[in-house]
Structure 1
Amino acid sequence: MNWKSPYILLVIAALFWGGNFVIGKGFATTMPPFTLAFIRWGVAFLFFLPFAKKELMANMPLWKQEWKTLFWMSLTGIVGFNTLLYIAVHYTTSINAALINAPTPALIALLSFLFLKETVHTRHIIGIVFSIIGVTWIVSRGSLETLLSFSINKGELWMLVAITSWSIYSVIVKKNIGRLPAAGSFLVTMIIGMIILAPFAMYEWIVEKPMTITITSILGFLYIGIFASIVAFLCWNKAVADLGPGKAAPFLNLIPVFASIFAITFIGETLTTAQLIGGAITIFGVLITTGVFIEKRKHLVHRRTNWRGFD
């Protein structure tokens, strides 16, 4: 097996991000969300600093010049998405949270059209519609009565806000790609994020008195700080650089798959019929949005053309 293959790197990234949902759920009753997010990025910063320090120091004038962009990247990506995710799993299952995360590529396509004036194709619209139907099925648990009465779990509503935050972050990154050095800007957004999170985490620590630190909790912190943050991001970015975002995006669909496997295996969650149906519809919509079926059809046509060449 070639561990440097971009496809293997994409699977590794999805694996570690899937685990983040389950770890977050595991901490839900003992560690408040802002504190957990602060610890996560504190661990990530300490481990990533040696690798990005040179790039950080060499571009100080650039960071000062682009501080507004970096602030919004940090607020939406580092602070917003992760804290909202940890809030969400206080009220809903990690499986539900991961499934609601699935339509993110479709939402990014929509926001890219609205704010970056990117072209929207028919497949984008169809994919977005399917994704909306799938998520609606999940949050309503397949019940029209639940949907009409709007008696939806607030954890799922928080998760919808979380993926909106991440999608905004992704659009900001797309707009500024090539302008900001990747490693250095990632480190700067961590620093800004920790500054934003610090007062909220301090308040939680004083008022809510989080759990006593144990070996198990330390292992959890190391997982979300190193593997779900640094390793996953590095694997993802390397694979996207090799394959392009279009070919990489469908691998995000592995996140709810891995999250479900981990949740069922380690914390005893169960997969419901509504989750299966809604998840399948959502992932189908994302696959349409990212053009997987078009690429597959082109590949088959190409193979048939080549085969006829030997007739």
Structure 2
Amino acid sequence: MSHTEHHSSSGTSGSNSPHDHEGEHSHDHSLEVTDKNARAVAWAGLLIAGFMFAELIGGWLAGSLALMADAIHMVTDAASLGLAWWAFQQSKKPADARLTYGRDRLPVLIAFANAIFLLVVTIWICVEAVGRLMEPQTVLAGPMFIIAVLGLLVNIGAFLILQHGGDGSLNMRSAILHVLGDLLGSVAAIAAAVIIYFTGWYPIDPILSVFVALLIVRSAVTVMRQSAHILLEGAPAQIDREVIRKDLLAEIPELRDVYHIHLWSLAEGKVNATMHAAVSAEDNSSVVVQKMRTRLKAVHGIGHVTIELSSHSEPVSTPLDASSTVSDTG
């Protein structure tokens, strides 16, 4: 039985091939989306940064934990949106000798960091609220109400900018999550101010602060888990290796087997893959590779694939990953 091996990458097409034009169009679209995301987080960040100092000072003067918690949210939001903007700018830079895949994964890393920031802020709010419940403090309902309403308007504006100006990526979702936490914090502060004004029951301030903090925990954990999965090079949830294998074998007659399939996301929407494929000795390996690449891109959304071909006179009948004795996540 003779064996020949051939390596093919998705970037090996000739300069005049249709795939190059398609790649250029995809690259231009990606840059357009990145610029759109960057503009959205920049405007939202400036809007929030312009108001956060007023709310922080106002919350301290009014003695309101709800306002101060919302202001601290705004501080972290302004920093997080700044990091998100920086990540989008960096991701536009081309690959180089040190970062051969480019900086596409940087926005995912920032999303992970932002989720951690949210959890830290939530813990701080809960600890502070326990102290306020044990020793209630006087809150000036009037100033608290005015500042909370202004904060709500600012947060609504920032939320709408991000909601309509972004593409739903992890980095955008983490930014929206920060602003949504602020928006809910402003609503809670307004409710607390109204209750304190009419009833004088001060514990409502820390109680609503904890309620708002807990509302964002689940979403923060979700963003953190999803971004961590990409950073750990986990397989995309929407792509099944066995489905890919069966589809390739069914659609490409020259293939005798496909195995050692590994999938991972370089960033959201950018799936990479490596795999081994067995073909008959008499088949044209370059034609088989091209068919596989075309099928993987068109049907499974895998834009970059490295394929190792082996010529066999008999079927291979090899499992997906015969070399691994542990669970494979990528």
Normalising by structure 1, we get a TM-score of 0.30
Q: Using CA pairs below 8 Å that are at least 6 residues apart, which structure has the higher relative contact order?
A: 1
Larger Rg: 2
Give the TM-score of the pair, scaled to structure 2: 0.29
